[in-house]
Amino acid sequence: MFDSRLLDELYPHWVELRRAFHREPELAFEEVETAKKIMAELDRLGIPYTYQGKGGGVIGHIEGGRPGPQVALRADMDALPGEELTGLPFASRFPGRVHACGHDAHLTMVLGAAALLQADPPPGKVVLVFQPAEERGGGARVILASGALDQVRAIFGGHVTHHYRVGEIMIGEGVVTAQSDRFQMHIHGRGGHGARPHEAIDAVVIAGSLITTVQTLVSREVDPLHPSVVTVGQVSAGTAPNVIAAEARLAGTIRTTDPQSRRHLHAGLKRMARALGELHRARIELEIQPGYPPVINSPQETEIARRAAAAVVGDKGVVPMEHPSMGSEDFAFYLEKIPGCYVRFGARRREDEYIPLHSPQFDINEEVLKVGAAWFARVAWEAIHAYSA
């Protein structure tokens, strides 16, 4: 459907686009210049779009020549807080911001697919979703609230990763990423002099007990067949080496792939906070904040995505999912409303090099742009054909 010679012809422009996004990253809900770049490319391609303004998304529309169903292709616009240590000539020029999660590649892939689809549009409509704030803020909800997807039959998205090589696309049905929740514990003890601990209630000691104890929730109380994680990522307490802290704060994340395990972990955290507070004569406040739900690929759309991948990379390039990722993704909000499929694109820069997402050294083999653009275009055609049959 899409000649490899056309991909090779368009590839240098896609590299320029990706590097332009990479050079000027913007954080969640601040993606104004990124949106301008997207709109300039859509203008160049002659694709109409709407823009919701700062904090919103850019929605492109490719109309087929005859009636048919609507499908959506999604890319995320935002970057991460942090510093880039890749040494690339097109590295971030903004201190404290970095495209270390590959969203610059996702934008380029969907824009690349737009070019392919504009040249050979399927019937119906393809909705191009350029979404803000995937990393922080759940920007998918902004797109859903706008009504842009009200008539969409299915939605497709993907993410680059070093877990696979360029030319490999991982596809799995069912749970693909974990439910994420955040928790905070505020320990109220009684301060005192470090030389007289018997006169105080040491919030630091209680914090240490909590950090150790909550790990038993996963190791001893959750079914090991259902992957779960409880991580304490932040600890703050104390004012001086010789002062017993009156207060301490813990913050962390909970990742689950099973609703019963999630309920069990929430209840366990509450039980442990009560019990350790009573044990140490302290008061412990616990707050649990729901995060992104799990990404759950629907069966028909997973099969459509698999056919599209096989057409692009061959059967050997289609990699089955071994197990769900314990990461989270706000693509899940779309899949709560619309059937769809979320895939992974192999993007390892060198065959022997693995660098995790969010690392300051993260980069991609830019050949993945051709794979992603071709897959997004092909999956739109495959989906519309399936729904029209």
- pLDDT tens digits, one per residue of 310-348: 999 999 999 999 888 999 999 999 999 999 999 999 999
pLDDT of residue 350: 78
Please enumerate in sequence order all residues whose Cβ is within 8 A of that of 103, keeping only pairs 6 or more positions apart, or say none.
Answer: 21, 75, 76, 77, 78, 79, 134
Confidence at 251, pLDDT banded by 50, 70, 90: very high
User: What is the pLDDT averaged over residues 164-191?
Assistant: 96
The answer to whether 162 is annotated as binding is no
Q: Is the per-residue pLDDT at 211 higher than 70? A: yes
The answer to whether 61 is annotated as binding is no
Per the structure block, which two tokens stand in for 47?
Answer: 């694709």
- pLDDT tens digits, one per residue of 66-113: 888 999 999 999 999 999 999 999 999 999 999 999 999 999 999 999
* Cα distance between residue 35 and residue 77, in whole Å: 8
Q: Select 4-176+294-388's CATH number: 3.40.630.10, 3.20.20.140, 3.30.70.260, 3.40.50.970.
A: 3.40.630.10
- At 51, the amino acid letter reads Y
Domain with CATH 3.40.630.10 in the chain: 4-176+294-388
The answer to whether 198 is annotated as binding is no
Can you tell me whether residue 86 is helix, strand or coil?
coil
* Residue 389 contacts residue 76 (beta carbons within 8 Å): no
Q: Name which of 134-138, 279-283, 369-373 the model is least confident about.
A: 134-138
**How many CB atoms neighbour CB 352 within 10 A?**
6
pLDDT of residue 65: 76
pLDDT of residue 1: 62
Which residue intervals of 55-172 are DSSP H helices?
103-119, 140-146
Q: Is the per-residue pLDDT at 3 higher than 80? A: no
> Which CATH number describes the domain made up of 179-290?
3.30.70.360
pLDDT of residue 283: 97
The answer to whether 163 is annotated as binding is no
Per the structure block, which two tokens stand in for 193?
Answer: 């002099």
* Cα distance between residue 25 and residue 17, in whole Å: 13
Please enumerate in sequence order all residues whose Cβ is within 8 A of that of 369, keeping only pairs 6 or more positions apart, or say none.
Answer: 11, 14, 15, 18, 105, 108, 109, 112
Average pLDDT over the chain, rounded to an integer: 95
Instruction: Name the burial class of residue 297, with classes exposed (0-12), middle (13-18) and buried (19+) by CB atoms within 10 angstroms of its CB.
Output: buried
- pLDDT tens digits, one per residue of 253-312: 999 998 999 999 999 999 999 999 999 999 999 999 999 999 999 999 999 999 999 999
Domain with CATH 3.30.70.360 in the chain: 179-290
Length of the chain, in residues: 389
**How many CB atoms neighbour CB 91 within 10 A?**
17
pLDDT of residue 67: 86
User: What is the pLDDT averaged over residues 105-123?
Assistant: 96
Confidence at 29, pLDDT banded by 50, 70, 90: very high
Q: CA neighbours within 13 Å on the CB side: how many for 213? A: 16
Which residue intervals of the chain are DSSP H helices?
4-23, 32-45, 103-119, 140-146, 203-216, 259-279, 299-313, 331-335, 368-388
According to DSSP, residue 315 is labeled G
The answer to whether 101 is annotated as binding is yes
* Residue 339 contacts residue 154 (beta carbons within 8 Å): yes
Q: Name which of 123-137, 225-239, 344-358, 374-388 the model is least confident about.
A: 344-358
Q: Is the per-residue pLDDT at 352 higher than 80? A: no
Per the structure block, which two tokens stand in for 326?
Answer: 């314990």
According to DSSP, residue 381 is labeled H
* Residue 49 contacts residue 59 (beta carbons within 8 Å): yes
Task: Give me the DSSP letters along 179-216.
Answer: EEEEEEEEEE-B-EETT-GGGSB-HHHHHHHHHHHHHH
Give pairs for 135-139: CB < 8 Å, separation 24+: 135/27, 135/28, 135/76, 135/78, 135/79, 135/80, 135/101, 136/27, 136/28, 136/78, 137/28, 137/29, 138/292, 138/330, 138/333, 139/28, 139/29, 139/57, 139/76, 139/77, 139/78, 139/330
**To the nearest whole percent, how much of the chain has pLDDT over 70?**
99
Q: Would strands 243-244 and 192-193 be described as parallel, antiparallel, or unpaired?
A: antiparallel
